[in-house]
Structure 1
Amino acid sequence: MEPREYTEKLEKDTLCEFACLSSQTKGRKEPIEKCRLRTEFQRDRDRILHCNSFRRLKHKTQVFLSPAGDHYRTRLTHTLEVSQIARTMARALRLNEDLTEAIALGHDLGHTPFGHAGERMLDKLNPNGFHHYEQSLRVVDYIENNGEGLNLTYEVRDGIVKHTNQWAETKEGQIVRYADVIAYINHDIDDSVRAGILREEDIPKSITDILGNSKSRRITSLISSIINNGAEDLHMDDNVAQAYHALHKFMFDFVYTNPKCKAEEGKAQEMIGALYDYYISHIEVLPQVYLSGAYKFGADTAVCDYIAGMTDGFAVEAFKELFIPKGWTKY
């Protein structure tokens, strides 16, 4: 028995009835020969992990724009925390951990530079709108691998595009949606404390009495509530869900709309707006993979593809190159 076949048998023997088995995937847009070592979902995980867009996440904003400290989250560390939380839940519920991990690692590949500020600006500029979860699917379908895409399985693609405001078809995809919100609310608190924006003691006692008064306790409370209700109907207990929503409102009021946190967002959005206008008017300067996309999907989509793929630093340097005059150099 080949290693892949053994893993597929192990899935059938050990995973719960609600798990998505790799041997029963709905497949890929372009069929490929099976790997003798890895299951289909393991191959997807590896394709995502080794792609360019995944590596660029380390230089993209999570909440704090291009933070100076080494310990603030980036989009990459957020993704890794989502993956860890999702895998913990998947293992406890006997769901497919490989599928869960693949979705988690790919869920934010389409995020823009400068976090949600960049996303809001591209959504405003693009006549077709722009949402990072849809862009993440575009990355794996059309942009990566020099425009050929990663040719992922249906289940991974479904989990990626539905991780924000829809429920995925698989329980594994639904787990990632929960893991995403659990991760970001707690690491954003951690980063906000580090930045001096708030203190743990500022969180209302009505919330901490239910969820706990530390990052690890809150994460444990939220995860445990989901696990305890089982895989058939994934949900939090009512009191835990209410506490989570209260915590999110607290963070929205004290951090996500805090002028100290958002002071530079306007500049970042103006910069993205200037880049967008320039590339729309000079579509020929786009790299070939995006220029080809312009003929296939339209100029607005191609420009969004290019800008969304930028890191914070690359966007700044592109802006400098195009709009900041250089000092005289004698040739």
Structure 2
Amino acid sequence: MRAPYASDPGKSRGRLTPEPEAPPRTPFERDRDRIIHSSAFRRLKHKTQVFVYHEGDHYRTRLTHSIEVAQIARSIARALRLDEDLTEALALAHDLGHTPFGHAGERELDRLMHDHGGFDHNAQSLRIVTRLERRYAAFDGLNLTWETLEGLVKHNGPLIDGEGHALGHYRETGLPAAIIDYAEAHDLMLASFASAEAQAAAIADDIAYNAHDIDDGLRAGLFDVIDLGDDPLVGAALGQVLKAYPKLERPRMIHETVRRLISAMVADVLAESTKQLKAFKPASADEVRGMRTPVITFSAQMREKNRVLQSFLSHRMYRHERVIAIMERAQRVIRDLFEAYMNDPKLMPVDWREDSFTDDKSGFARQVCDFIAGMTDRYALDQHKKLFDLDPLFR
């Protein structure tokens, strides 16, 4: 039975372009299905987070990560009696706007787009589901419900304060134009929190990201199991495994440690969120939006443990010389492609340069940015080799 503070698909605020209902599916189920069937979702298969796609089949891609986030998010939603379909839709869509080559690709595109509005993967996700997916006859994008779009944009909290000033990492740069433009047509209440379902998807992303980066880092040999022994979060899970299975071989030891790590973080979220919900007693999804703090959250102790773990991963994985070398090469690929397309629009496919020959340089730069951001790692490397006949040394 759905909780009173959960999002009710029967009371959805609807879609920008009205559509008839399609029973037996709810509006949120339709959103999830449209996301799964989108071109952008399929492309996540060959978009990486830390390792370039051909380094091995066992490292996470954006697709496998999104599926893992959806599993964790749905488990949290079920335990807290939230709408599971909306939670799953948000979990599956949260990475649609990411570039090839993970955060390195995003940083380089943002730098290249500095004079043209910058690049932000959250805003790019919104562009994809409201404009760039062109599959349906009646509208551009996927025409998702207000609740899904709101959660996609605000899953990490409000974007502006009550006076309209940008918050968080948008404080310095201001809100991306894609978010401002869409919110003018379809008010997403940018000054409020998102639904409990969006909060569940966001915290599931944090859980999956930390746990699975440990898994990938260990498999890649960037650090060893013994290096994690003193970590307050991972060390506890590792200690449980070694106590129960003192002679366990390394691959099983890694898996058993990571699964205990995920279980510990999920258990903390459920305990703390239950406490928050009992204390504040929100009687509707809108009351959740109107609160001053999120209701789906870690305890203070778990937040500190996650901070320590993130510090370890930042030092031992994200800044590892091998990873840095990969990312520098990835940035070179993005830079070369961007400059080539800007200098000669005819190098782009015909359907991506329909408005190329105009005097709007920033508009064209955004078109180039959209094209590159949508690439998979493999396609970006293929295009680079085609244009420059150079191997960017991903070997």
| TM-score normalised by length of structure 1 | 0.89
The aligned residue for residue 224 of structure 1 is 267
CA distance in 2, matches of 1:222, 1:116: 24
Correspondence 1:146-225 to 2 at 5 A: 146=135, 148-164=140-156, 166=158, 168-208=193-233, 212-213=237-238, 214-225=257-268
Instruction: Work out whether 1:95 is the aligned partner of 2:82.
Output: yes
Query: Once the two structures are superposed, what CA deviation does each residue of 1:99-119 show, in whole Å capped at 9, x if it has no partner?
Result: 000011111111111111100
CA distance in 1, matches of 2:355, 2:65: 29
How has the CA–CA distance of structure 1 residues 301 and 168 changed in structure 2, closer, same or farther, with 3 Å as cutoff? farther
Instruction: Work out whether 1:249 is the aligned partner of 2:311.
Output: yes
Instruction: Work out whether 1:68 is the aligned partner of 2:93.
Output: no
Residue 188 of structure 1: CA displacement?
A: 0.6
SS in 2 for 1:130: coil
The aligned residue for residue 238 of structure 1 is 300
Gaps of 5+ in 2: 159-191, 239-256, 278-294, 391-395
Work out which of the residue numbers 378, 385, 389 in structure 2 matches 1:320: 385
How has the CA–CA distance of structure 1 residues 168 and 50 changed in structure 2, closer, same or farther, with 3 Å as cutoff? farther
The aligned residue for residue 19 of structure 1 is 6
The aligned residue for residue 134 of structure 1 is 123
Instruction: Work out whether 1:258 is the aligned partner of 2:357.
Output: no
How has the CA–CA distance of structure 1 residues 105 and 23 changed in structure 2, closer, same or farther, with 3 Å as cutoff? same
SS in 1 for 2:233: helix
Matching residue's letter, 1:221: A
- Mean Cα displacement is larger for which, 61-70 or 285-294? 285-294
| TM-score normalised by length of structure 2 | 0.75
Superposition CA RMSD, Å? 2.1
How has the CA–CA distance of structure 1 residues 211 and 25 changed in structure 2, closer, same or farther, with 3 Å as cutoff? farther
CA distance in 1, matches of 2:20, 2:206: 36
Preserved contact between residue 125 and residue 273 of structure 1 (Cα < 8 Å): yes
Residue 168 of structure 1: CA displacement?
A: 4.6
Preserved contact between residue 83 and residue 101 of structure 1 (Cα < 8 Å): yes
Query: Once the two structures are superposed, what CA deviation does each residue of 1:52-104 show, in whole Å capped at 9, x if it has no partner?
Result: 11111111112112243221111100000110010010000000000000011
CA distance in 2, matches of 1:168, 1:211: 33
Preserved contact between residue 73 and residue 200 of structure 2 (Cα < 8 Å): yes
CA distance in 2, matches of 1:302, 1:27: 29
Query: Once the two structures are superposed, what CA deviation does each residue of 1:10-43 show, in whole Å capped at 9, x if it has no partner?
Result: xxxx111110011111111100010022100000
The aligned residue for residue 274 of structure 1 is 336
Residue 210 of structure 1: CA displacement?
A: 7.7
The aligned residue for residue 124 of structure 1 is 111
How has the CA–CA distance of structure 1 residues 293 and 181 changed in structure 2, closer, same or farther, with 3 Å as cutoff? farther
SS in 2 for 1:95: coil
The aligned residue for residue 370 of structure 2 is 305
Gaps of 5+ in 1: 1-13, 326-331
Matching residue's letter, 2:148: V
CA distance in 2, matches of 1:253, 1:293: 44
Preserved contact between residue 143 and residue 289 of structure 1 (Cα < 8 Å): no
Query: Once the two structures are superposed, what CA deviation does each residue of 1:237-289 show, in whole Å capped at 9, x if it has no partner?
Result: 21111101110111001101111222121111111111111112223443455
Matching residue's letter, 2:212: H
Preserved contact between residue 228 and residue 235 of structure 2 (Cα < 8 Å): no
Instruction: Work out whether 1:78 is the aligned partner of 2:121.
Output: no
Work out which of the residue numbers 101, 109, 113 in structure 2 matches 1:114: 101
- Mean Cα displacement is larger for which, 147-156 or 54-63? 147-156
Instruction: Work out whether 1:43 is the aligned partner of 2:30.
Output: yes
What is the identity percentage for the equivalent residue pairs of Structure 1 and Structure 2?
Answer: 43
CA distance in 1, matches of 2:234, 2:313: 17
Query: Once the two structures are superposed, what CA deviation does each residue of 1:145-183 show, in whole Å capped at 9, x if it has no partner?
Result: 258111111111122223456585111001111011110
Matching residue's letter, 1:256: Y
Preserved contact between residue 182 and residue 222 of structure 1 (Cα < 8 Å): yes
Matching residue's letter, 1:312: D
CA distance in 2, matches of 1:148, 1:285: 25
Q: How many residues align?
A: 312
CA distance in 2, matches of 1:78, 1:218: 16
Residue 292 of structure 1: CA displacement?
A: 4.8
Preserved contact between residue 234 and residue 261 of structure 2 (Cα < 8 Å): no
